Amino acid sequence: MELTPYFRSIIEQDRCAVVICSLEHEIIYMNPTAIERYAKRGGAALVGQSLLACHSAESNEKIRQVTAWFAESPTHNIMHTFYNERENKDVYMVALRDADGTLIGYYEKHEYRGRDTEEFYRFT
């Protein structure tokens, strides 16, 4: 997947896993955090594979329902899909659109709720 250097830097430095999929549910990009997080499932080798192969039939149906909802309107752009209590995070599916608002894909967004305990301005 071709990204401008600025966007690539933003995504690749994100501490959350970013997995971008096409409308055919093909994994087209994984940032380094995602590659590490999903190493036991194949890591970087998952790029080019179907996201649906990584999920249960029930999850696949929900993924298809959400992408159909995204396609209904350019205002349908984010869906809360899961709360992970163990990691204290909410998970969302987010629509990706081109400049004209046409749906071109989607990605999963993780929002952690715990306070970041890293020291402020730590230069090490």
CATH number at 78 reads: 3.30.450.20
Residue indicated by tokens 């194949």: 42
3-state secondary structure at position 63: helix
In a domain, 96, yes or no: yes
pLDDT tens digits, 68-108: 999 999 999 999 999 999 999 999 999 999 999 999 999 99
Going by their DSSP bridges, the two strands 27-30 and 89-97 should be labelled as unpaired
In a domain, 1, yes or no: no
In a domain, 121, yes or no: no
Query: What's the number of domains the chain is made of?
Result: 1
Q: Band of the pLDDT at 2, cuts 50, 70, 90?
A: low
Residues of the domain holding 84: 17-112
In a domain, 11, yes or no: no
In a domain, 8, yes or no: no
In a domain, 6, yes or no: no
State pTM to two decimals.
Answer: 0.86
Which residues on adjacent β-strands are paired with residue 108? 93
pLDDT tens digits, 108-124: 988 888 887 888 887 76
Q: How many CB atoms lie within 10 A of CB 2?
A: 6
For the chain, percent of residues with pLDDT exceeding 90:
77
